[in-house]
Structure 1
Amino acid sequence: MSASSLHDIEAQSSPSSTSDSETSTVLQPARSNQGGVHSDKEHDGYRPCQCEDGLRRLSRPGLNRSESIVARVRSRPTVPRFTHPLAREKTSQDQLVDFDGPDDPYRPINWPMHKKVSTTLLYGLVTMSATWASSSYSAGTDQVAEEFHVGTQVAVLGTTLFLVGFGVGPLLWAPLSEVYGRRIAVLIPMFVAICFSFATATATNLQTIMITRFFGAFFASAPVTNTGGVLGDLFSPAHRGIAMAGYAMAVVGGPTLGPIVSAAVVAQPWLGWRWTEYLTGILQSFILLMAIIFIDESYPPKLLVSKARNLRHETGNWALHAKFEEWDVSISELSRKFLVRPIQLLCTPICLLVALYASFCYGILYMQLGAVPIIFNEIRGWGTFTSELPFIAILLGSITGAGINIANQFWYNKAYHAAGDRAVPEKRLPPMMLGSVLFGGSLFMTGWTAQPDVHWIVPVIGLYLTGTGFNTIFQAALNYLVDTFQMYAASAVAANTFLRSCFAAAFPLVVSPLYHNIGVGPGSSIFGGFACLMIPVPFIFYVFGKRIRAGSKWSKASVF
């Protein structure tokens, strides 16, 4: 909507009215009219008239002219309330543009499988490049601290602020994806994030690093936030679990591969920490270019808007439009959906406990950015690069976890079809039940075998189990929230995203002083104890989940 249109609407809705003198000034006749006589067409009531009779009509009660502050400043005349002879007629169904049936190939869910796979892969790579940036900085924190003469804990704030940005960004990008579509709400923010990656690489002081890291994450959170919505556009519940497994790998791939590559860069004296950021920006640029070329819009309402626009131009029937175009975007509505409603959902037992558990596991994953170097570099004496290699074990464990989730999808499909093609949330939980046991045990195993007198493969196996447990819990939790809250799924995912970013931001700051003060074993036991306390969560919801869902207004729609 143009600025002039906004002005006109604001002016006609203003409660204040002008005096008669102001009215006559605004409607000064452009030409004389003998006797003030006009045709009926000129007095149709749908546009201002400049004759004496027209002025008398506008001065009657109910037709007072008004001016807003903006109109006064701009010295622009106001206009009467807009109307039209057909304004009170409702839109007929024949004028609404929709898909041509459930099998319409234009619908994203009916796209060819190769296009679905390529779209998922590209969005996954964009997501991985964003999460890569969250961890690539960690390998160079010692060099940052040395260059700018600050403590290591201060330098670690670069990672913490990045993860804070990851938590704040979804509050903007999630609503934008439902207004402007997935593609714009992901690719444009990622371009800005790339600019901040290069800005970090060229920073001349610590303040610039911290600011650019935060805003880089704020914009880079767009693909992390909206890729789940893309998968919902492309896949039915019967196939979404497999796609989510691939997406979860992208979420894990960045934090596990980033430190390894960055450590190799930092180990070269002619490169240093700045090249970890240059490399991040280059990687993000290449992936973004591929995404711009090959990714198409997948948000069904936006596709229907494009279809309606093409039909209007082809047929000349300007009444044709998509239902989405009737939506008057409201800031209050978007705020309620992505700010207020997530908080309301967190007051329900399912959303609170499941999101809390997934967020705790996500925080543990980022805690390893500080824990792995302490165990393998400081305690075992490995080199800068080799001490980051155990992250591969977390990645391999995550691949195993993805395999478990995919296997569960086939079992889920049987329950899904048996229920009349309706989601059965509790059937998403078996991988989470297995992963909860593996995850809790892995933290004790890694912590208490960190000493050099224990073979290095033992803590590495512990990290492998951490990756397996994380992926099974993380993906199952996301699927369970989507199936449970259905029409409120976007709000539930927003609550989960914000909460997990808070955990991920805090844990890297905690791990170093905790391990150095009380030891790796006792420190890991604290986190392992919390993980064990969360083990009953999936078991409780597997048994009582349907009853709990039925008792909440947010989730009772998923009960049948």
Structure 2
Amino acid sequence: MSPTNGENETQPLLNGHHSQNEDQEPEILSFSQDDPENPLNWSLSSKYLQTTLITFFALTCPLASSITAPATPNLQESFPGSTRQSIIAGQAVFVMMLGIGPLFLAPMSETFGRRPVFLICLAGFTILQIPAGLAPNVGSFIAVRALAGFFGSVGVANGGGTISDIFERRERAKVLGVYLLGPLLGPSVGPLVGGLIVGGTGSWRWIFVLTGVLGAVATVVGWFFLFETRAVTLLQKRQRELERSNPGKRYVVEGMTDQGLLEKIKGNSTRAVKILMTQPIVSTMSLYQALVFSSMYSLYSQYTSIWSAPPYEFSKKQIGLTYLGPAVGFIICAVFIVLFIDKVYGALAERNGDEGQPEYRLPMANIGAVFLPISLFWFGWAVEKNAPWPVPVLATMLFGASQVSIFNCVQTYYIDAYEDNAASALAAGAFLRSIVGGIVPLFVSGMFEKLGYGWGMSVFGFLGVLLMPAPAVFYWIGRRGTEDGAYS
């Protein structure tokens, strides 16, 4: 289905070109069902090209959030007087901006279109890699990283909207499964790449050469191959062309409102917060995602300390390679989810008289609900007991699989359940998980020093056990929210 405005991003446009009393009333512009310019009617090759591009954007920018993790000791040496916490703050502010940015960038894309917002933000992200790599002190480093995180959040802010623009509901789950690999896989691939760069060059500054190149590639490729997908923006272009060729005749784009950008930003932000605070399933599942992100970034912030100490004593390159564990888990589970999420949905809908429900996206999240605490307990106590390195690495594979299972199913659920306000529901989840995921790693070093890695990781594990029933519970009781109008 096709978006119309900030209040209702995915509401379908009425079909047909029609006018009422053409001499007095403006002609209403909308896409007919078979209009070739309607993004829903584009060829599969064009749709897959757009999906590939936004997945690349969503991978590149979050990759930069954690790429400096293996370089923490090097950054401390470069910035005299800095502390480990202040260096980790450079990661924290980036991650937090990944959650704050969508509150602003999503309504901007609803005002100016997807393409210009993507290109401007990608260009801004690319340019900011230069001062980040040349930062003379930790203060300027943190400030630049915060700005880069804001611009880099565009992949998270607009990716889901783009997919809703070009794919019908029945097609969306698998495509989202591929796209969501980007914001999940990026933070795991980042430290792997960062560790290899620092281990090979001895300098953290080369990290930002790479992120700058990746950002430049994304910007240039986007300039040539990224199309505008928002239906209202395309119809506005048609409106201008018709007004030029038919002077004196008025045209109005269906779905347009007089709401200004500031009103849209305020509405998007307040609506996201309202959904987060008033919808139990959004608040609970967003809290679940926050646990996933906080444990992930906390774990990654400790990797150098864990793997460089006895009995492992890994080199920086070897430390980088340990990040392959969660990445492999990501990919294996993502393939499984993509292959079976629609089949599970279809089977449950068939049992319900062919009537699908948003909750039918949740059963596969139970896989991650079980894997998450197991992997956290497993990793923490394997490291605490100095187990051979393959033992904790295998735990991280299970950890990566749990993240994909929870994240993918929950995001797809949000889009199905809060269809009219899908952007706000997604922004609500992104905001909470990014804020928590950014702040928690700043404080875990002290916890691990006091409790050790066994009990320290067990704290996250116990929280995982506490939240484990959530997907199953909301699968059974979630429809009550629909009956009460909670999805409206």
TM-score, normalized by length of structure 2? Answer: 0.90
* Distance in 1 between residues matched to 2:261 and 2:226, nearest whole Å: 28
CA contact (8 A) 1:345 1:554 kept: no
Separation (CA, whole Å) in 2 of partners of 1:327 and 1:264: 51
Q: Deviations over 1:504-529 (max 9, x none)?
A: 10232233222222111110110000
Q: Could you tell me how far 1:415 is from its partner in structure 2?
A: 5.0
Offset of residue 178 of structure 1: 0.9
1:433 aligned partner, one-letter code: N
Moved over 4 A (4+): 89-94, 414-423
* Contact map agreement 1:488 1:554 (CA 8 A) in 2: no
Contact residue 182 and residue 226 of structure 1 kept, 8 A: yes
Provide the identity percentage.
28
> 2:22, 2:281 → 1: CA distance?
41
Q: Residue 347 in 1 paired to residue 278 in 2? A: yes
Aligned match of 2:10: none
Residues 1:505 and 2:438 aligned together: yes
Instruction: Please give the alpha-carbon distance, in whole angstroms, between the structure 1 residues aligned to 2:25 and 2:177.
Output: 40
In the alignment, which residue of structure 2 is the partner of 1:463?
A: 396
Once the 2 structures are TM-superposed, how far is the Cα of residue 458 of structure 1 from its aligned partner?
A: 1.5
Letter of the 1:458 counterpart: V
Greater alpha carbon shift after TM alignment, 381-390 vs 403-412: 403-412
Q: CA deviation at 1:222?
A: 1.4
Given residue 104 of structure 2, which amino acid in structure 1 is its aligned partner?
A: L
Q: What are structure 1's unaligned runs of at least 5 residues?
A: 1-88
Inter-partner Cα distance in structure 2 for 1:91 and 1:375 = 76
Whichever residue aligns with residue 251 of structure 1, its letter is P
- Please tell me the residue identity of whatever aligns with 1:288: T
Cα pair 1:346 1:495 within 8 Å, conserved: no
Measure, in 2, the Cα distance between the counterparts of 1:184 and 1:295: 10
1:344, distance to aligned residue in structure 2 (A): 4.3
Give the counterpart letter for 1:402 in structure 2: A
Q: Is the aligned partner of 1:490 residue 2:427? A: no
Higher relative contact order (CA 8 A, sep 6+): 2
Alignment of 1:273-312 (within 5 A): 273-312=204-243
Match of 2:114 in 1: 182
Give yes or no for the alignment of 1:193 onto 2:125.
yes
Assess if the C-alpha contact under 8 Å between 1:128 and 1:251 holds in 2: yes
Residue pair 2:68, 2:91 contacting (<8 A) in 1 also: yes
**CA distance change for structure 1 residues 418 and 239 in 2, over 3 Å: closer, same or farther?**
farther
Q: Are the equivalent residues in 2 in contact too, given 1:439–1:466 (CA < 8 A)?
A: yes
C-alpha spacing 1:119/1:334, structure 2 compared with 1 (3 Å): same
Asked whether the 8 Å contact 1:447–1:525 carries over to 2, the reply is: yes
The corresponding residue for 1:374 is 305
* 8 Å Cα contact 1:137-1:159 kept in structure 2: yes
Output one character per residue of 1:159-207: Cα deviation in whole Å (capped at 9) or x when no partner: 1111122222122101101111111122201211111111111111221
CA spacing shift, 1:420–1:234, aligned 2, 3 Å: farther
Cα RMSD of the aligned pairs, angstroms, is 2.2
Aligned-pair distance for 1:423?
Answer: 5.0
Residue 452 to residue 534, structure 1, CA distance change in 2 (3 Å): closer
Deviation at 1:413, TM superposition (A): 3.8
The separation in 1 between residues aligned to 2:42 and 2:347, in whole angstroms, is: 24
Aligned ranges for residues 304-453 of structure 1 at < 5 Å?
304-316=235-247, 318-329=249-260, 331-379=262-310, 380-406=312-338, 407-413=340-346, 423-451=356-384, 453=386
CA distance in 2 between partners of 1:334 and 1:213 (Å)? 23
1:49-64 aligned within 5 A = none
- Aligned equivalents of 1:385 and 1:446: distance in 2? 21
The reply on whether 1:233 has 2:161 as its aligned counterpart is: no
Q: Deviation digits for residues 192-246 of structure 1, max 9, x if unmatched?
A: 1111111111111221111101111111111211101111112122121111111
Q: Which amino acid letter does the alignment assign opposite residue 40 of structure 2?
A: I
- Does the 8 A contact of 2:30 with 2:235 survive in 1? yes
Structure-2 change in CA distance of 1:337 and 1:161 (3 Å): closer
1:119 aligns with 2:54: no
Query: 1:341 deviation in Å?
Result: 4.5
Q: Please give the alpha-carbon distance, in whole angstroms, between the structure 1 residues aligned to 2:61 and 2:110.
A: 21
Conserved 8 A contact 2:118-2:154 = yes
Alignment partner of 1:106 out of 25, 37, 40: 37
| Residues 171 and 494 in structure 1, CA contact (< 8 A), matched pair in contact too | yes
Paired AA for residue 166 in structure 2: L
Partner of 1:346, secondary structure, is helix
In structure 2, relative to structure 1, the CA distance for the partners of 1:524 and 1:368 (3 Å cut) is same
Deviates most, 541-550 or 319-328 = 319-328
Contact 1:195 1:281 in 2 (8 A): yes
Quick one: distance in 2 between partners of 1:91 and 1:550?
45
Once the two structures are superposed, what CA deviation does each residue of 1:472-517 show, in whole Å capped at 9, x if it has no partner? 1001111112222221222111111110111210232233222222
What SS class does the counterpart of residue 389 from structure 1 fall into?
helix
Structure 2 partner of 1:60? none
Structure 2: distance between partners of 1:494 and 1:243: 19
The CA distance in 2 between the partners of 1:311 and 1:449, in whole Å, is: 68
| TM-score for the superposition, normalised by structure 1 | 0.79
1:529 aligns with 2:444: no
Confirm or deny: 8 A CA contact 2:128 2:144 kept in the other structure. Answer: yes
Structure 2 unmatched ranges of 5 or more: 1-20
CA–CA separation in structure 1 for the residues paired with 2:23 and 2:62: 46
Distance in 2 between residues matched to 1:419 and 1:119, nearest whole Å: 34
Aligned position for 2:95: 163
Deviation of the 1:333 alpha carbon: 4.7
Does the 8 Å CA contact 1:446/1:463 hold for their aligned counterparts? yes
- Structure 1 residues 415 and 234: CA distance shift in structure 2, 3 A: farther
